[in-house]
């Protein structure tokens, strides 16, 4: 990535305002749910107003975007008929459209070099600050704002709940794009990525958030697999990166057995006794809710109320929150038809993002973008539902960044090959 371009003070006021929004956006996304929602809504409406003003609807013709509109329309229609609270569910269905609209807005704004570069710099600063705050909390018992550790090994960082891990894992792979485009020798950039992975792995292990840790490991595997597939000469350094990550986990688990027990031992215990675990019980409850309305579902944002009314989890002394499984949640609220539409939207979106990078053989970027999408839409959800505005804002930020880099660098790579 070249040096940050200058942005003259004489730039038009709307562009200067957009620059300020992009610099503030990462902090707003990670600071609070309210700021994240306001940022998403503001950027989406600004983008929509500009497109309407210019009578430009080309972006709406993307197959995945049309499918998203179809999913929202279908969810609103069945909610009107089957939901316990029809108007509320219809509004939630319509509000779903702000997420793909926000992703398209991000993809559009990040085509401007100044906005893209300063957004990435701001994101790196905010993400690094959150990681440092977690490390401080681990060693001192409280973070810099005075929030205490929750339980034995559940870090909260600057939040009142154990959220930093699941927030970090959605941001760290976006930050890793800096390693790809930094103006340094290829081997140096690859070494920087390896060091970065080790740092993130250590911080996520310290947070005590198992889902975030293993999602990160899966995302890192996507990047290394893509590089190994397209660049045979990199297989040895990638192997040693994997060895280094494994050894780091082993060292931390040995030095702090409680960390190892939570990050590794408890995960294996849940997998080996899955049907009796809390995840297994929650999944069984979600399946029971879905089976009550298998084709059309119960309506958007009705899962908790339907689950409570059925008393599925009360027999085990548990409360209904969300299924901790994205696709079970979609199936329970919109039925098999809604699930098919949602999955079709994701397939078309993944194809639109990844195909240009595959065709231009940009293996490192393709792997990184795959990692962003992987951690965003992996079926298991830890902590907060993907319908939650805060988590959804972070998720669709990743989609917008992936779209922007695919459109910009995929097209540039194709033009270079044709030239």
- The string of pLDDT tens digits covering residues 103-128 is 999 999 898 888 998 999 999 999 99
Quote the domain boundaries for residue 109. Answer: 14-26+61-418
Using CA atoms in the order 301, 302, 305, 307, what is the torsion angle rounded to 10 degrees?
A: -110
Cα(368)–Cα(355) distance, integer angstroms: 14
Domain total for the chain?
A: 1
Enumerate residue ranges in the chain where pLDDT < 50. Answer: 1-10, 413, 415-419
Cα(135)–Cα(141) distance, integer angstroms: 10
The pTM is what? 0.91
* pLDDT at position 50: 85
398 falls within a domain: yes
Cα(357)–Cα(363) distance, integer angstroms: 7
36 falls within a domain: no
Cα(105)–Cα(397) distance, integer angstroms: 10
* pLDDT at position 13: 58
pLDDT digits (tens, 9 = 90+) for 266-324: 888 888 887 778 788 888 888 999 999 999 999 999 998 898 888 878 777 777 877 88
Which residue(s) pair with 325 in the sheet?
380
Environment class of residue 10 by beta-carbon count within 10 Å: exposed (0-12), middle (13-18) or buried (19+)? exposed
38 falls within a domain: no
> Residue 380 in 3-state DSSP?
strand
302 falls within a domain: yes
């Amino acid at each position: 990535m070249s040096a940050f371009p200058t942005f003259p003070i004489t730039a038009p006021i709307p562009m200067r305002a957009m620059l300020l929004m992009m610099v503030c956006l990462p902090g707003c996304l990670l600071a609070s749910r309210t700021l994240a929602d306001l940022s998403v809504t503001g950027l989406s409406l600004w983008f929509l107003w500009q497109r309407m003003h210019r009578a430009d609807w080309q972006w709406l013709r993307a197959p995945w975007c049309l499918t998203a509109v179809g999913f929202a329309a279908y969810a609103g229609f069945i909610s009107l008929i089957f939901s316990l609270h029809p108007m509320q569910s219809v509004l939630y269905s319509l509000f779903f459209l702000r997420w793909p609209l926000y992703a398209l807005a991000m993809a559009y704004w990040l085509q401007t070099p100044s906005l893209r570069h300063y957004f990435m710099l701001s994101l790196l600063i905010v993400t690094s600050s959150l990681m440092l705050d977690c490390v401080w909390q681990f060693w001192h018992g409280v973070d810099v704002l005075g929030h205490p550790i929750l339980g034995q090994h559940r870090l909260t960082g600057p939040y009142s709940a154990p959220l930093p891990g699941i927030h970090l894992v959605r941001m760290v792979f976006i930050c890793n794009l800096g390693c790809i485009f930094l103006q340094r020798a290829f081997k140096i950039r690859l070494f920087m990525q390896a060091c970065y992975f080790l740092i993130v792995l250590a911080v996520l292990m310290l947070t005590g958030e198992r889902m975030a840790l293993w999602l990160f490991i899966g995302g890192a595997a996507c990047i290394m697999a893509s590089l190994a597939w397209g660049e045979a000469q990199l297989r040895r350094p990638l192997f040693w990166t994997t060895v280094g990550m494994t050894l780091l986990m082993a060292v931390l688990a040995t030095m702090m057995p409680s960390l190892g027990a939570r990050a590794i031992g408890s995960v294996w215990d849940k997998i080996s006794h899955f049907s009796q675990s809390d995840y297994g019980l929650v999944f069984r409850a979600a399946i029971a809710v879905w089976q009550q309305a298998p084709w059309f579902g119960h309506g958007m944002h009705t899962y908790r109320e339907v689950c409570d009314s059925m008393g599925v989890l009360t027999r085990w002394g548990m409360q209904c929150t969300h299924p901790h499984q994205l696709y079970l949640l979609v199936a329970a609220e919109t039925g098999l038809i809604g699930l098919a539409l949602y999955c079709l939207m994701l397939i078309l979106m993944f194809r639109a993002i990844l195909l240009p990078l595959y065709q231009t053989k940009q293996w490192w970027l393709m792997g990184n973008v795959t990692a962003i999408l992987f951690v965003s839409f992996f079926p298991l959800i830890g902590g907060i539902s993907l319908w939650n505005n805060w988590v959804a804002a972070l998720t669709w930020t990743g989609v917008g960044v992936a779209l922007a880099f695919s459109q910009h660098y995929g097209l540039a790579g194709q033009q270079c090959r044709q030239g």
